[in-house]
Amino acid sequence: MDVKVADLPGIGKKMTFYTAQGNMIVLVTHHTGKRELYFFQEPDDDEPDFSMELMSNETRELGAQLLGAIFQPVDSDQMKLFRSKVIVEWIELQESSLFAGKTIGDSEVRKKTGVSVVGVFRNNEVIASPDVNERLEPGDTIMVIGKKSQIALFEEMAEGEG
């Protein structure tokens, strides 16, 4: 990426970014703190294809996200290793299960099996990322994540065999 910076007397600074794909992004930072972003498909165009104004706090948040403050992509080799070790499975909870009628916390699913409950499907309703107070009911389909051996143990207990 090629970056050029220029002073805009009485206004602030202009930063022009040329991407590897041949696009151009222009950031104008005003002395007042206001930021303007302009996107050009073709750097020679007179008018931007898209523009937007950002407040200083929005610009900081965007910058933090671009730097990977919240999410860092995983190397593909690491992802292959992760996928080979971790499984996501959907298992129906039987009436005879030790977990039936108890909350996730009270049933100590993670402590007893090692899996994490990441979803509950009940009566065509999805409960994503349920908290520890979510009651597990017979007939629920529980989405769990863990190692193969942990999933097998949870499955046994969900069927009432463990």
- Domain ranges in the chain? 2-67, 79-159
Q: Is 159 helix (H, G, I), strand (E, B) or coil?
A: coil
How far apart are alpha carbons 121 and 115 in whole angstroms? 17
CATH number of 79-159: 3.30.70.1450
Strand order of the sheet with strand 35-40?
2-8, 12-18, 24-30, 35-40, 50-54
How far apart are alpha carbons 58 and 26 in whole angstroms? 16
Contact between residue 128 and residue 157 where contact means Cβ atoms under 8 Å apart: no
Q: What is the pLDDT along the chain (162 residues), one digit of tens a residue?
A: 899 999 999 999 999 999 999 999 999 999 888 899 999 999 899 999 999 998 877 887 787 777 765 665 666 665 565 556 788 888 999 999 989 999 999 999 999 999 999 999 998 888 888 999 999 999 999 999 888 899 999 999 999 865
pTM of the model: 0.50
